[in-house]
Amino acid sequence: MKQVSKYFSIFFMVFALFSVVACSSTHKQEGTGEYVDDTVITTKVKAAILQEPTLKVAEINVETFKGVVQLSGFVASQADINTAVRVAAGVGGVKSVKNDMRLK
């Protein structure tokens, strides 16, 4: 019985180790907590763009990876690009903003 308990303990420790490693992040993949944080940041950036009267949220795509927001899409003017970048950078949790927006 003692040997079964020993194997169970080893199995549990290995399982726990794999669980922790599977949820950790790498430079190309987010951990679970980071994914949730990035989803919140994306939502906040979209809401901030929606609140800006000169911008059309349907024209601007927002993606976030490890706090870096990427804006893409086609907008009417350079002023719209500048405003979208400024608005996104002002959202809490945003580390930086990548601008991939293009003029129509």
* CATH code of the domain covering residue 92: 3.30.1340.30
Examine residue 87 and state whether it is found in any structural domain, yes or no. Answer: yes
Examine residue 7 and state whether it is found in any structural domain, yes or no. Answer: no
pLDDT in tens, the chain (104 residues): 556 565 555 655 555 555 555 544 555 455 655 567 999 999 999 999 999 999 998 999 999 999 999 999 999 999 999 999 999 999 999 999 999 999 99
Residue range(s) defining the domain that contains residue 83: 30-103
pTM beyond 0.85: the answer is no
Examine residue 94 and state whether it is found in any structural domain, yes or no. Answer: yes
| CA angle centred on 52, ends 60 and 97, rounded to 5° | 50
Examine residue 74 and state whether it is found in any structural domain, yes or no. Answer: yes
Sign of CA dihedral 15, 21, 22, 23: positive
- H helix runs in the chain, sequence order: 2-23, 32-51, 78-89
Q: How many structural domains are present in the chain?
A: 1
